[in-house]
Amino acid sequence: MLANIALRTVLKSSAGVLRESGALCSALPVKPWTCSSALLSGPRVSCVAGSFAFPPPVRHYARVAKKKKTGPESQLSDLSPTMLKLDYTPVPLAQTTDDVVKRLLSLELASHSEKLQLKKEQLIAKVQRDENDRSSVEVQVAILTAKIRNYQEHLQKHHKDKANKRRMLMAIDRRKKLLKNLRLVRYDSFEKVCEQLGLTYTFPPEYYRRATRRWLAKKAFCIKVFKEVQKQKAELRLKMKQSLASTDGEAAKTRAAETQ
């Protein structure tokens, strides 16, 4: 009973404070929808019939722009945007047309696949044996090099693309096999390909196996067995030498006895 009476008195006193503050706001010579900041210790608010409404939060539009990460330089960056596409390069009319049409036929508005095709042709021209060579080992290495560099640039931006990563690793293995064969058959062409394409050939390891815990335990056990076998063989050799020495001594004694 006493708790209910105390709660009612608190509510009545708070309602009276709100009415007095509303009367003060209406008595001051200010705008009808604003309340003076001198009466309030907090931020500026609006006062309507004894109630307080806070303004909406300020949106931070002037945020600092994030700096773009500068990745490695693309292999297509050396292609000039004024160069014509691969399909229109041998056409003589494309060289003498007006600027608008020439811009449509140039690399400025070309797709990524068209630029990559032009880069492949440039790499092929560096290493091919003659003008009609399109299937030699050198040409295949050049095509694979352009593809691998394109995959590497793509994976720098999309490092979770597992499918293209798998294709890149398959292309790298294929190029390794071709370079290994070319090095054994035509070493001068191998050196020319590595120099023109900027490749560094590293020799593969003679033997490679993933070092698992089971493999390490098995290897240690095999080494231990090998040492024990070698130890037993050494003891057997020593016994054989001792037996031969004893038989030789006995034979010498019998010969000496026979001579006497």
The two three-digit tokens of residue 58, written as one number: 């300020």
Q: Which three-class secondary structure state does DSSP give residue 53?
A: strand
pLDDT band at 234 (very low <50, low <70, confident <90, very high): very high
Q: Contact 139/125 with Cβ under 8 angstroms?
A: no
pLDDT for residue 94: 80
| Distance (Å, whole) CA 187 – CA 192 | 9
pLDDT tens per residue, range 77-107: 888 888 888 888 888 888 888 888 888 888 8
User: pTM of the predicted model, to two decimals?
Assistant: 0.54
Over pLDDT 90: what percentage of the chain? 45
- Domains identified in the chain and CATH numbers: 112-197 (1.10.287.10)
Taking each helix axis from N to C terminus, what angle separates 162-185 and 187-197, rounded to the nearest 10 degrees? 140
The structure tokens 């593969």 sit at 204
| 39 pLDDT above the threshold of 50 | no
Bigger pLDDT: 236 vs 251: 236
Top pLDDT among 30 and 132 is at 132
Least confident of 8-17, 124-133, 244-253: 8-17
Q: How many C-beta atoms surround the C-beta of residue 70 within 10 A?
A: 6
